[in-house]
Amino acid sequence: MKQYFDLDEWNIIEEGFNPETNEISESIFSIGNGYMGQRANFEEEYSGPHLQGSYVAGVYYPDKTKVGWWKNGYPEYFAKVLNSTNWIGINVKINGEVLDLGKSTIKEFKRVLNMKDGYVERFFVAVLKNGNEVKVHAKRFISMTRKEIGAIKYSITPVNFHGKIEITPYLDGDVINSDSNYEEKFWDEVSSDVNPFEGYVMLKTKKLDFYISTYMTYELTKNGKTLAPKVDLLKKEKYISNTASIDCRENDEVVIYKYVANTSSRYYAVDKLAEVTRELSTRAKKDGFEVLAKEQAKAWNHKWKESDIIIEGDVAAQQGIRFNIFQLNQTYTGKDERLNIGPKGFTGEKYGGSTYWDTEAYCLPFYLSTADEKVSRNLLIYRYKQLDKAIENAEKLGFSNGAALYPMVTMNGEECHNEWEITFEEIHRNGAIAYAIYNYINYTGDKYYLGEYGVEVLVAISRFWTQRVNFSKAKNQYVILGVTGPNEYENNVNNNWYTNKIACWTLEYTIEAINYLNETNPRRLDELKKKLNFQKDEMDKWKDIIDNMYYPIDEKLNIFIQQEDYMDKEQVHVKDLDKRHLPLNQNWSWDRILRSCFIKQADVLQGLYFLEHEYDIETLRRNFEFYEPRTVHESSLSPCVHAILAAKIGDYDKAYEMYLRTSRLDLDNYNNDTEDGCHITSMAGTWMAVVQGFGGLRVRDSKLIINPFIPKHWTSYSFKIMFRGALLNIRITNDEVNIINESSKTVDLLICEKTYTLKGNENISIHYKNSLIYA
């Protein structure tokens, strides 16, 4: 762990330039708006290490699977969100020499991500090989109000020379994904055109026929006055540019304002794409950079009012949580139910930008509490609309009767992950889909969802579990064999406790959902039974499995065992490892990892987090105290679960340690992999660590529960949540909980084990100590 950036409550600040960590910074300073995104690449040419990345949401490519040998059921491709047209490009020549920080002497360099107003900017002073010294200030953002628009202000000032500055704004669609399995380029040109001060490139994917159009307009000024120089035009395959030559003297400021519109055939007819992007880009240019920047600041101000967490007394913690919330808000807006949340968002290519179970397990709680109910509902509908594909996935593996296995990785509902121990074995993902339905309904009270969409999904998943279990005569119980749990440092194990538990819980919840419909909407239930060809004896089978499932338990330690034979491993704690071995996945062979007791991420503890209400505090404590010392947290999804459970059992120092790790995972590059992109889905876990961990927020029986504590060196912290039409501002100090109801909706609360009713537009202050009322 290193501190790469200055500590600041609202900004990520990089002072000085280190080429060796540039790709880390490109990830950290990425920007987006839920519709498209951009890594923090330089506008000007750069010959040093970098990962070019411009992404358009929902546009992907089925890259042919590359494996050592084929297995029946393998997906034929891995879906990848594509690196698309490089729209930020502005090449610069100073008296004939290319401005390239990889070949220049850098006297000053500063990069800032302004999270409050939603933009990234750079300041640098560089000396070229010809001795010319130049000062550059670049600022850009992707609009939150005009989803297709990206805007750049790029200022160049001669410091010690006069002469010619050549400025070349361009669009380049001749790009490649660094993770292409066969080094294939995925785009063909459809059309392009270039004229003075404008131009466009339209591309089409070689498969699936996604079209994107990228249109640029721009303007030039010198010392504040608009220029209209003669420009040289260039057009070649997938590329267009303008080049303007401007005479300058020392301290003259030349500025290019570049306005780019990106959109795809997912939103407009193909024959309208060029026209639409031209109109959008032209309108942005007409309104101007400052107007767009003010719109951006206003939009982000609204976002922060809904979702900010304020921490007093700990700048590192404050910066960490705001960075995580910022990335979440610019990755997914919930306005398009066809979209989901990739593990890297718009910050890199790893994991293909596809959908994982992370969304349901970690992201849903954030959006439930910080956005309109429709946003989280759309995340569920995304899975419902892919139910047919989930049934197809199960059929490919030999399942029948409408059983559904949701994919580990997907863009369109098809499984596209091609590591056997994940694709075929990590079936616990089905449980996360089911749990998300419960979580959504429990939080919102929207039980109508069950009849509309939920029961269909639950029945299909339950049918899968029914066929995936088998009855062991030796144990005289049901077992689930050959699985990988959340801890991916174990493969092909038998009776993973979490998998067995979430399978039976799903069966229980499906029965509960069917019974609810039978009582409240029997007509709808009859319709579903006919549609699903549902037989009564299916529920009898589910009950039998629930009553007779085998769970590995160590009776001496009185804990749940991660899987059968786990206790045969040499039991070593992480603290006893030489630090040079960490992270294990970068220093140990896979064989050595699999034979060890070390845990990549919460596994048993994942189940205890989900189903905490089923267990007493001592059960949680015993299992936490056994598994936490063995967990290396080499998955970004792990620390938040440990933070929440540590807070629940009163291990507040461990809760804070795990919070800081999850909140600064990318900022401090804990796992030595931030250069691949930020861990977006786990960022929602950071929010969970504060709100569910420190704040003790739960929902039970339609009541909002708060059992808080405050880290010992914090002065206070506060967060806002939306709950069933109410907007609550919750502030916690060392001895007081203050809640302001910023809506007209009355809310029932259970705070530190006492019940309160908070009417609309009123507030309540409650003294507490160690989560118990004392005054």
Residues with catalytic function? 488
DSSP 635: S
CB atoms within 10 A of CB 50: 18
Q: Within 13 A of 708's CA, how many CA atoms are on the CB side?
A: 26
CB atoms within 10 A of CB 653: 10
Q: Which two tokens stand for residue 304?
A: 């922060």
**Biggest alpha carbon–alpha carbon distance for the chain:** 89
Sign of the four-CA dihedral 296, 299, 304, 307: negative
Where does residue 135 rank: exposed (0-12), middle (13-18), buried (19+ CB within 10 A)? middle
Give the C-alpha distances (Å, rounded to integers) separating 730 from 307, 384, 660, 708: 12, 34, 21, 11
Answer for the pair 666, 28: CB distance below 8 angstroms, yes or no.
yes
Instruction: Using alpha carbons, select from 656, 681, 652, 655 the residue that is nearest to residue 666.
Output: 681
Q: Which two tokens stand for residue 655?
A: 């809760």
Instruction: Using alpha carbons, select from 358, 394, 351, 393 the residue that is nearest to residue 379.
Output: 358
Where does residue 418 rank: exposed (0-12), middle (13-18), buried (19+ CB within 10 A)? buried
Where does residue 16 rank: exposed (0-12), middle (13-18), buried (19+ CB within 10 A)? exposed
Backbone phi, then psi, for 733, in 5-degree steps?
-115, -165
> Residue holding tokens 């979702």?
307
Answer for the pair 566, 511: CB distance below 8 angstroms, yes or no.
no
- Residue 321 and residue 691: Cα distance in Å, rounded? 11
Sign of the four-CA dihedral 472, 474, 476, 480: negative
Answer for the pair 348, 676: CB distance below 8 angstroms, yes or no.
yes
Backbone phi, then psi, for 384, in 5-degree steps?
-60, -40
In 456-567, where do the E strands start and end? 470-472, 477-479, 553-554, 559-560
Give me the amino acid identity at 348: G
Q: In what order do the strands lie in the sheet with 90-94?
A: 97-98, 90-94, 163-172, 239-248, 231-236
The secondary structure element, H or E, covering residue 247 is strand 239-248
Strands 703-706 and 747-751: parallel
Answer for the pair 199, 171: CB distance below 8 angstroms, yes or no.
yes
Answer for the pair 354, 345: CB distance below 8 angstroms, yes or no.
no
Where does residue 755 rank: exposed (0-12), middle (13-18), buried (19+ CB within 10 A)? exposed
Answer for the pair 670, 620: CB distance below 8 angstroms, yes or no.
no
- Residues, the chain: 775
DSSP 685-713: HHHHIIIIIIS--EEETTEEEE-----TT
C-alpha Rg value of the chain to the nearest Å: 27
Q: Using DSSP, state whether 17 is helix, strand or coil.
A: coil
- Residue 470 and residue 550: Cα distance in Å, rounded? 11
- Residue 101 and residue 45: Cα distance in Å, rounded? 8
